[in-house]
Amino acid sequence: MSWKDTAEPLLTRMPSVARPERHVPFKRKLGWTAGVLVLYFFLTNVYLFGLGTGGSDAFGQFRSILAGGQGTIMQLGIGPIVTASIVLQLLGGADLLGLDTQNNPRDQVLYQGLQKVLVIVMIVLTGLPMVFAANFLPAEPVLGLGTTGTKWLMFAQIAVGGVLILYMDEVISKWGVGSGIGLFIIAGVSQSLMGGLIAIPQLSPTNDWGFIPSWIAMALGYRDIPSVLTTEGLLGLLFGQGQIIALLTTLSIFVIVVYAESVRVEIPLSHARVKGARGRFPVKLIYASVLPMILVRALQMNIQFFGRLLNSQLGDGMPAILGTYGSSGNPTGGLFYYLAPIQSPGQWAWFLGDVSQPVWKVLLRVGIDLTVMIVGGAIFAIFWVETTDMGPEATAQQIQNSGMQIPGFRQSPGVLEKVLERYIPQVTVIGGALVGLLAVMANMLGTIGGVTGTGLLLTVSITYKLYEEIAEEQLMEMHPMMRQMFG
């Protein structure tokens, strides 16, 4: 008996959102999407009952891509979903699952059920240590429950939040526009980005100046303008209160991603039965999209989270080779320091005066970060393409099922697959490595609002794809026959 037969009774009974039985009108899709987003913003502002003062964010600067809120019912964000996806991608890449999600409906149901079970497991594995093992979420006894009882109550709240975001994502995927995870990331990053542009100290929880108010204050004389004739003043304008480099980096990421999304190899197609019906299949430079970057960063996030847990439990007894931690809770040496990604110019730029580490340690950390993101980006892009039915074999079958073929070639999935194999694997690796490089460079130079390079890349890419999907939906509303032709 295989594991599928054993697990089937559980996996097939996992609650799921029903698929629409017929085509959902575009306006209704927008309604579902807007409704879920409103619910998401509401939940990110519902703070945990029993939460005390103090504590720290377990995810740190990874928070911008996890679409959650520190100390709220959405404490975990999309972290458990992403971690479960990493496990499934690794198992699927090693062909240990034995699931044919492309052609076998039973395997599709088992895969979706397995994903939900893994998400619940990750909610428990992440939420319990966050509440009980460290000072991330300090408890203040309520309702006479005592400290331990209050902690269990807090864990129940963040567990409910983790399950809610799982099904909110499923609602948008089946009834709305785009992907729920993508929309939640856009919402969180856009919030930080707008704060970085327009925040003023009196209204900002971090007491920071936004880019626009900062320059207005300098123009009106309320803030001193650094002199460009001195090194310190010039660096202040570029990296400090002037934020010129952060603005240029943010704008450059927007331009580069939009341009990269438009770079493609277009394979001509014609319909086998409808004379004159032609089309093109685009193989984009960023073929696997930027979403595999979430998997790489989530892997780094889990490593850092584990390191902080070890430090909180072992303290000075933690082996120095594993890591040493400063008063801020960030690693200052050891393995966890070198595996921590560069998040801002102040972590590597000696000329800013904020780096206390030896040059060789910082260079080694930068080199490891580049290697992890470039190599990891390429590997996870390959896994992503294969597990989301975007590979040559699955794509050839989809084209064949739509009745299309490449002019001049025999109408056969095998022939289509051979043509697609000339482009898809190479473009997938190049695109994944390019996105990893861009993410690291954006982090090193800094971005407006401190949204991190990965968060900014994800936001621009997902927004661009959302625009394309909306345009496609509107086209199909105008021409229903196209929906039948392209599925």
Burial class (CB in 10 A: 0-12, 13-18, 19+), 17: middle
Whether the predicted pLDDT of 100 surpasses 80: no
Q: Note the pLDDT tens digit of each residue in 333-377.
A: 889 999 988 888 888 887 776 777 888 888 999 999 999 999 998
Residue % of the chain over a pLDDT of 90: 14
Mean per-residue pLDDT for 254-278?
Answer: 78
With a CB cutoff of 8 Å and minimum separation 6, the contacts of 450 are 61, 64, 192, 196, 344
Q: Mean pLDDT over all residues of the chain?
A: 82
Taking the C-alpha atoms of residue 286 and residue 265, their distance in angstroms, rounded to an integer, is 11
Task: Give pTM, 2 decimals.
Answer: 0.81
- Rounded CA-CA distance 258/251 in Å is 11
Domain 1-10+26-176 has CATH 1.10.3370.10: yes
Q: What is the pLDDT of residue 121?
A: 92
102-106, 111-115, 145-149, 207-211: the lowest-pLDDT one: 102-106
pLDDT tier, 486 (very low <50, low <70, confident <90, very high otherwise): very low
Query: Is residue 272's pLDDT more than 70?
Result: no
Cα 456 from Cα 250, distance rounded (Å): 8
The per-residue pLDDT for range 277-297, each reduced to its tens digit, is: 677 778 888 888 777 888 888
pLDDT tens, position by position, 428-476? 999 889 989 998 998 888 888 878 888 888 888 888 888 888 877 776 6
Paired residues of 333 in beta bridges: 324
For residue 342, give the nearest of 330, 352, 334, 351 by alpha carbon. Answer: 330
Model confidence at 158, in pLDDT bands (50, 70, 90)? very high
